[in-house]
Structure 1
Amino acid sequence: MVLSTVRSKLHSSTTTQLTTYLDASAAADAIKNHPITQSVTNGPVAENIMDQHAKTQAEFSNLAASRQTPSTPAATGQPLTHYHGFFGSLLSWENPRASGIAYASVVLFIFAARYLDIIRYTFKISYMVLGITVFAEAVGKALLSTGLTSQIRPKKYYTVSRETLNAVIGDVHELLNFFVIEAQQIIFAENLFMSFAAFLGAFLSYYLIKIVPFWGLSLISTSILFLAPLIYKTNQELIDHHVSNATKVLNEQSQQVKALASQHAATVTESTKSLVGDYSAKAQEMIGNARGRSTSPTLSAKPAKTEEIKKENVPAYKAEDFPAAPKEDFKAPPVGDVAAAMKTEDEPLIAS
């Protein structure tokens, strides 16, 4: 009984909603066919909007087509990634609408990350969606014997194909290589201007991070990254003129500094040579004086050598220094009675 009453109420409410929908569609058709509406939708404003929309789509297509490997390799001869061409086209504002929309999107994301609790809102949206689907399924099964959520369930769940996954992995690989190669090009000064700009940015960020929050520093960096090429592109002639003048002045100053340095170097070299000559002359004079004191001025070299020769020929000992050799023959000493008799003869007589 209750189910029949509920079904009748649902049928009546469905009929009422269908009647309201038909009335609303009829009113919408009437408004659409009204002359004022026709003049607005087919007027110059609508045409301008459609034209801008078509141009924006064309620029995004061109930006997507710019994802090609540049023909110019790196300084090491390695080929660059297709993201070099993509970011080069994006930051150089070759497609102004696409670059402007990208810049606005990044700025909005920074503000959203700063002022919106994205993680909390993500959980909120999740529980709201899940609550609606669960309630609709439960109410449908209770009242209509079939769930409402199951009626809109797809016939086949979506899956990630291997081709799509390989394409995503390939893009991530190219993106990582883009950042790695770009960092090495900046570190090893392949482009001096880019390396100097990176140095200046890192130097300023080191001091700004103390007083500026991270989101503010990200906003400043993004603005400089996008707007600096745009400012240069719109004022290229003026900037190139001033840069050429500054380069000319720097070259003149460097030449002047080189000339002064060479002049001072020549002066220093001459003074050094003169000092070295003076000191060498004094040293030679001192050596000559020392040699003069060590030798006698009255004797020449030849008599000294003759005297040395004569001294060498003179013998060191004379014949008188040795005792005379015996002239008699050597005799054998007496033996036996003869020796005793000779001894008795030699003894002195002692008085008794």
Structure 2
Amino acid sequence: MSSCELLYWKNPVETGKVFGGALVALLVLKKVNLLTFLLRTLYTVLLTTASIEFLTNLFLGQGLVSRYQPQRCPDTVAFLKPRVDAFLTQLPPYQTKLRKLAMAQSPKCTFKAAGVLYVLHKVFSVLSLWSTLFIGTVALFTAPVIYKTFQKEIDATVAQGVEAGKYHASNLQSNVSEKASPYVKQLDQKLGPVSGFIKSKLPATRVAGSNVTAESSTAKLAAQVPLEEPAQGQTSSADFPTAPSTHLGHTVTDTTTGVEQEVSEGLKYGSSI
């Protein structure tokens, strides 16, 4: 029978046997001191075999225990070795998972594991080990059946609880961000260049539906601007600016009509010897 069939009570007789045996073992563990029980069992067996062997030697001339004793010991090594080897074969993958968990290769999983350990710490600080085992055994054999019977109601309640938790977490985050914003700005101003360097190393965040911040886009555009203009290989007369034209002359006004006329005079270059 598989574990699912066992926990879902597919065969009530078999599940009842396992469940009852677990409860009896827990009750024995609660009421009986295992160390004293083991010691009492051992010295009772030794006293019994020694007494039988002594009396039968005395009255019968031969000890019954030595006559009917097993000829060889149980092969404990052959029984345990395959199981120990199977356990040791499965151990390295668990060690790898534990190393990844401890070294926080996935911070989300590490946070979850820390939360579970914290809850267990609180549970064991309130309840004893036996109480925890007893409650856990009862819950193990009853919770799956209860969940299967009332699955819709339980799922709806859990969904409502998750939504309420998200709402409260969002409000708490907004309140914390609002209260911490002035202190963050003060710290940013005090750090100065260090803060700018850290911001440049951080990944881009979303701003107004974009995947790139305004600062990162500005830095990217500035990086694309060349520091120097590339040198021109060839030049022509078209590359030089056009010189302004200069007109030499004077204006003459006609006395009869009153119209002004411009009279140009050319430059005369000569040389005198």
The structure whose Rg is larger is 1
Query: Which is richer in helix?
Result: 1
**What's the TM-score once normalised by structure 2's chain length?**
0.45
What is the TM-score when the length of structure 1 is the normalising length? 0.37
